[in-house]
Amino acid sequence: MLTSKKIVVCVTGGIAVYKAVALVSKLTQAGADVKVIMTKSAMEFVQPLSFQVMSRNDVYFDTFDEKDSSVIAHINLADWADLVIVAPATANVIGKLANGIADDMVTTTLLATTAKVWIAPAMNVHMYENAAVIRNIAQLSKDGYSFIEPSEGFLACGYVGKGRLEEPEKMVKLVEAYFSPKELPLKGQKVVVTAGPTRELIDPVRFLTNFSSGKMGYAMAEAAANLGAETVLISGPVSIDAPSNVTLIPVESAKEMYDAVMEQFYTASIVIKTAAVADYKPKEVHSQKMKKQQGDSMIVLERTSDILAELGKRKTNQLLIGFAAETNDVVHYAKSKLEKKNADYIVANDVTEAGSGFGTETNSVTLVGKDDVELHFAHLPKKELALQLLQTILKLENDELK
């Protein structure tokens, strides 16, 4: 399946290097042309000869060791690759890459390539959860790198937790899927996504809002479009650009968002409501700026329309997916919201958790649905998470129809 595909495997220094040998072997057996670059630390675990035998190609480890004088090795490899996989990826190489540091053969090649780069982290569970590592992964995701999430289990350091390099067999399947003709499961369907905060005016210079950045909603819209859907993104005020393959409808207030959603709802196949819509708005909006007065002041608030609940009442054959930002008892409130709003799925997360919630590049969520569906998705870049969520929901729906 991988015949004629050119893959560069960058191997960095961790005990999981032995799995990289198996990965190279299996990629080669699948027909790929594989070339390996190693760091000096990686060579402390496995000698280059092992990779040379498995790949049947020279192994690169020294930026200044030019095996072919007619080319510059790291530039030639960078241009040659159809796909680059960093496996295992240590916290060190993730940090260097996130900050544009190129001080060896691996990092100089990674910075020079225009091919897609996949990063497969492998490290101690506490290292993987360190704030600096989370921050660096988020930066690389923002820069366009993709991640193969580590699995959980017994680690070489003696801990049990997340940090094991994904199994070579699964990585090969991911590579095969990447190079296979892309399926578009949402082709011919219309997906409506709401995103961002709303603003409720107090007077001409003040408003009520929340911390939503819109990043998760925009990621969901992009994922839906990439899966073939005609995608409409209804967004409150945010500071990020909409994906190029979606139709953007900008709104400000909860009322404007309600009207825009209702206008699109009846022609939609799927509605994904990620927006953090204000629950309350000022009962009175002052036409002039409110002036300071002696003592306290009071603003009377009234309820806004509950968009998700209204959609739950009106839906016929639409798939309705809501999001819930919580600070405690996440699953409990998600299940309660699922029932009260008559939604099909609720995606809930704890916004107080590090690396999750508003404004972050990563997220950790729990998907709940009818028939006791409860699936947890650990910290992932939001774009990766959005795609996994949509694919999981589509699989659950297809399984239900069978």
Tokens of 319: 């798939």
User: Cis before residue 243, ω within 30 degrees of 0?
Assistant: no
Residue identified by tokens 């699964």 is 170
In Å, how far are 233, 309, 344 from 341, measured between CA atoms?
21, 4, 9
Q: Using an 8 Å Cβ cutoff, are 337 and 324 in contact?
A: yes
Residue (of 109, 122, 123) closest to 80 by Cα position = 109
Q: Using an 8 Å Cβ cutoff, are 295 and 319 in contact?
A: no
Residue identified by tokens 């639409």 is 318
CB atoms within 10 A of CB 49: 9
Whole-angstrom distance, CA of residue 385 vs CA of residue 362: 8
Q: Using an 8 Å Cβ cutoff, are 24 and 51 in contact?
A: yes
Query: DSSP per residue over 151-215, as a string?
Result: EEEE-TTS-EEEEEPPPHHHHHHHHHHHHSPPP-TTTT-EEEEEESB--EEEETTEEE-----SH
Residues with Cβ within 8 Å of 104's Cβ and at least 6 positions away in sequence, in order, are: 39, 40, 63
Known binding residue 323? Answer is: yes
Q: What is the DSSP letter of 115?
A: S
Known binding residue 279? Answer is: yes
Residue (of 110, 89, 253) closest to 165 by Cα position = 89
Q: Report the interhelical angle of 307-314 vs 254-265 (nearest 10°).
A: 20
Q: Using an 8 Å Cβ cutoff, are 59 and 8 in contact?
A: no
Known binding residue 337? Answer is: yes
Residues marked active site are found at: 157
How many angstroms separate the first and last alpha carbons of the chain?
A: 29
Residues annotated in a binding site: 279, 289, 323, 337, 341
Residues annotated in a binding site for CTP: 279, 289, 323, 337, 341
